Amino acid sequence: MSDTFYVTTPIYYVNAEPHLGHAYTTIVADVAARFHRLIGEEVRFQTGTDEHGDKIAQAAEDQGVKPKAYADKISGMFKELWPKLNIVPDNFIRTTDAEHIQVVQAILQKVYDAGDIYLDTYGGNYCVGCERFLTDKELVDGKCPEHDSEPVFIEEENYFFKMGKYQEALTEHIKANPEFIRPERYKNEVLAMLAGDDLEDLCISRPKSRLTWGIELPFDSDYVTYVWFDALINYLTGLVWPDGENYQTFWPAAQHLIAKDILKPHAIFWPTMLMAANIPLYQHLNVHGYWSVDQAKMSKSLGNVVRPLELAEVYGVEAFRYFVMREMSFGLDSSFSEELLVERYNSDLANDLGNLFSRVLNMLHKFCGGVVPQPDKLLPEDADLVQLTRAVAAEYVRENRGFAFHKALAAVWSLIGAGNKYVVANEPWSLAKEPELAGRLNQVMYRLCQLLAQVTVLIWPVMPQTAEHMAGVLGLGGVTPSIMPAVLEGGELLAPGTATHQPPALFPRIDTAKVKAKADKAEKKAQGKKPQKKKQGKKKPPSGPAEQITIEEFARLELKVGNVLEAEPIEGADKLLKLTVDAGEDQPRTVVAGVAEHYAPEELVGKQVVIVANLKPVKLRGVKSQGMVLAAVGDEQVIVVSPSAPTTPGSKVR
Measure the CA–CA gap between 233 and 269, rounded to whole angstroms: 11
Write the CB contacts of 117 (distance below 8 Å, at least 6 apart in sequence): 108, 111, 159, 160, 161, 162, 204, 219
Return contacts of 420-423, CB within 8 angstroms, 24+ apart.
420/352, 420/355, 420/356, 420/584, 420/648, 420/649, 420/650, 421/648, 422/381, 422/385, 422/447, 422/448, 422/451, 423/356, 423/359, 423/360, 423/448, 423/648, 423/649
Q: Classify residue 278 by burial, with Cβ atoms within 10 Å: 0-12, 13-18, 19+.
A: exposed
| DSSP strands (E only) in 69-211 | 91-94, 117-127, 132-134, 152-161, 181-182, 202-203, 205-207
> What is the DSSP code string of 553-606?
HHHT--EEEEEEEEEEEETTEEEEEEEEEE-SSSS-EEEEES-TTT--HHHHTT
Q: Do residues 497 and 372 make contact, with C-beta atoms less than 8 angstroms apart?
A: yes
Peptide bond into 380 cis (omega under 30): no
Q: What is the number of other CB atoms lying within 10 angstroms of the CB of residue 517?
A: 12
Residue 541, preceding peptide bond in cis (omega within 30° of 0): no
| Strand partners of residue 591 | 579
Q: Which amino acid is at 154?
A: I
- Report which secondary-structure segment, H or E, holds 7: strand 4-8
In angstroms, rounded to a whole number, what is the distance separating the alpha carbons of residues 201 and 576?
A: 84
Encoded amino acid at 88, one letter? V
Q: Alpha-carbon distance 39 to 291, whole Å?
A: 30
Plot region of 636 (φ>0 → left; ψ -120 to 50 → alpha; else → beta): alpha
H/E stretch holding 335: strand 334-335
Which residues have CB under 8 Å from 298's CB, separation 6+?
19, 20, 21, 290, 291, 292, 304, 305, 306, 336
Shortest CA distance to 351 belongs to which of 515, 558, 591, 617? 558
C-alpha to C-alpha distance for 193 and 189, rounded to whole angstroms: 6
> CB atoms < 10 A from the CB of 256, how many?
23
Residues with active-site annotation: 19, 22, 127, 130, 144, 147, 297, 300
Cα–Cα distance between 372 and 474 in angstroms, integer? 9
Single out the residue of 4, 2, 81 nearest to residue 47, CA to CA.
81
Q: How far is Cα 271 from Cα 180, in angstroms, rounded to an integer?
A: 11
Residue 177: φ, ψ to 5°: -130, 80
- Please, which contacts does 475-480 make with residues 24 or more away whose CB atoms are closer than 8 Å? 475/372, 475/499, 475/500, 475/501, 479/38
Q: How far is CA 210 from CA 69, 124, 141, in A?
A: 20, 15, 28
Cα separation, 229 vs 123, in Å, equals 20
